[in-house]
């Protein structure tokens, strides 16, 4: 009886050890991002938004790590990760470094999910290298951010607005920049506790990189490049947080469709209660939409 108990204990210990090891994140660092790799299966790439940590994808990792090998990025300059030596260029280099990473570390086309700035990068990668992607999800990230706010303006006037915004961000002091972060995050997440916690990501981001990234997001228009993105794509968009400023579900969809009308294979989803961090505000809906999309458009069978 004692031998049987000891044998069972050893087996259980080995099983527990194997399980813990298989789900332990592997860390990869470069001057342009940090990556945590966990899970097993086909590759999934998760890119967070401006000033955000890869921790924003925690629930997504927990849901899919038994089905995918998940590569979670935190971009340099955001959420305490040291800023790169950008030489005045950020997103174009990040885009190319992400492509290089995927070429070197993934053994098959990936499902890529990007939030906000990460959604913009998803479109950029997909339009440049569609062969690297099996399916794409942009979570409230657009191919042309300026189109949402300044699309109605003449190009010269629009660029003046962007330059003024950039100058204002560059001229902030560190104290002013940090003081703004709790308010900024409170406008994007319904959960006030998470908004307060995640505002620390903003406070520990490099304000110069944040300003440069915003400038590039507003200045670069990818909408005319999407015809080459022959990848099934789901565009999730929010509008509810901006209803007080006149945003409507229908009006936002019209704007988003105008930006993506050259995309050969795109579908849309929204939730009337979700704010900018849609995966956090409405996780059940979020995962249901992604599961349905992957099942119907990627050739995968996702069951949870």
Query: How far, rounded to the nearest angstrom, does the alpha carbon of residue 150 sit from its chain's CA centroid?
Result: 23
Per the CB < 8 A criterion, the answer to whether 129 and 109 are in contact is: no
pLDDT of residue 304: 62
Superfamily the domain 26-297 falls into: Alpha/Beta hydrolase fold, catalytic domain (3.40.50.1820)
Read off the pTM: 0.90
Mean pLDDT of 234-262: 94
Residue 86 near residue 212 (C-beta atoms within 8 A): yes
Q: What is the pLDDT of residues 81-125, one digit of tens each?
A: 999 987 799 999 999 999 999 999 999 999 999 999 999 999 999
Cα–Cα distance between 269 and 234 in angstroms, integer?
Answer: 7
Q: In the chain, where are the structural domains located?
A: 26-297
């Amino acid at each position: 009886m004692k031998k049987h108990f000891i044998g069972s204990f050893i087996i259980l210990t080995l099983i527990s050890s194997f399980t813990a090891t298989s789900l332990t994140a592997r860390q990869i660092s470069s001057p342009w991002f940090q990556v945590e790799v966990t899970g097993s299966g086909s590759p999934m790439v998760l890119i967070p938004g401006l000033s955000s940590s890869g921790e924003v994808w925690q629930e997504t990792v927990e849901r899919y790590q038994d089905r995918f090998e998940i590569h979670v990025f935190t971009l340099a300059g955001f959420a305490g990760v040291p800023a790169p030596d950008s030489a005045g260029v950020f997103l174009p280099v990040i885009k190319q470094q992400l492509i290089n990473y995927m070429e070197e570390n993934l053994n098959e086309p990936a499902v890529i999910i990007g939030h906000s700035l990460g959604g913009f990068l998803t479109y950029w990668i997909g339009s440049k290298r569609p062969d690297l992607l099996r399916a794409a999800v942009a979570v409230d990230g657009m191919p042309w951010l300026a189109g949402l706010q300044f699309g109605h303006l003449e190009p010269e006037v629009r660029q003046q607005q962007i330059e003024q915004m950039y100058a204002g961000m560059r001229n902030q002091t560190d104290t002013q920049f940090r003081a703004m972060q709790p308010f900024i995050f409170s406008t994007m997440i319904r959960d006030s506790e998470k908004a307060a916690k995640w505002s620390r990501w903003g406070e520990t981001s490099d304000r110069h990189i944040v300003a440069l990234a915003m400038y590039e997001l507003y200045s670069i228009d990818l909408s005319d490049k999407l015809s080459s993105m022959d990848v099934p794509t789901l565009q999730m968009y929010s509008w509810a947080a901006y209803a007080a400023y006149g945003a409507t579900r229908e009006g936002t969809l019209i704007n988003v469709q105008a930006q993506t009308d050259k995309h050969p294979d795109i579908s849309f989803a929204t939730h009337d209660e979700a704010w900018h961090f849609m995966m956090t505000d409405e996780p059940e809906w979020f995962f249901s939409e992604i599961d349905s999309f992957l099942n119907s458009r990627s050739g995968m069978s996702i069951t949870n």
